Amino acid sequence: MDSVILKTATRLISALMLVFSFFLLLRGHNLPGGGFIGSLVAATAFALYAIAFGPASVRQALRVEPMKLSIAGLGIALVAGLLALLEGAPFLTGVWNKIELEGGGTIPLGSPLLFDVGVYLVVLGAVLTLILAMEEEEGS
């Protein structure tokens, strides 16, 4: 498809979708959202980009094979589960720490966020692998 309107709109829309995807990832533990839905929004942005510019452009933008994203995500999720074992708790139990800010106050940071990042990468890599394979098959 060679539409100037689609290509122009895709640049803006896909960037906004990726920012929203990151927002959903960070918000996910305490409110609706998380790694799964955030990665689906990101995958949709990349799918739109693939429709407008082709799968080669998506692969160039990613700079890493989607399957490697999934493998990295599995490793991150595993590390999140192992952190609980180091604390003497059951596997995948949330481990929380507070980060002190210079101006006062704290930010709670825990292993559930790390697990959500792992899920995000696993789902994003798996969905992009499928989308790019179908798009490349269609193009040949």
Of 140, 127, 137, nearest to 48 by C-alpha is: 127
pLDDT in tens, the chain (140 residues): 689 999 999 999 999 999 999 999 988 866 778 899 999 999 999 999 999 999 999 999 999 999 999 999 999 999 999 999 999 999 989 898 888 888 888 888 888 989 999 999 999 999 999 999 999 998 66
CA angle 27/124/30 to nearest 5° reads: 15
| Residue 15: per-residue pLDDT | 97
| Residue 33: per-residue pLDDT | 81
Widest CA span in the chain: 58
Instruction: Count CB-CB contacts under 10 A for residue 66.
Output: 22
Sequence spans of domains, the chain: 4-139
| Residue 1: per-residue pLDDT | 66
| Residue 13: per-residue pLDDT | 97
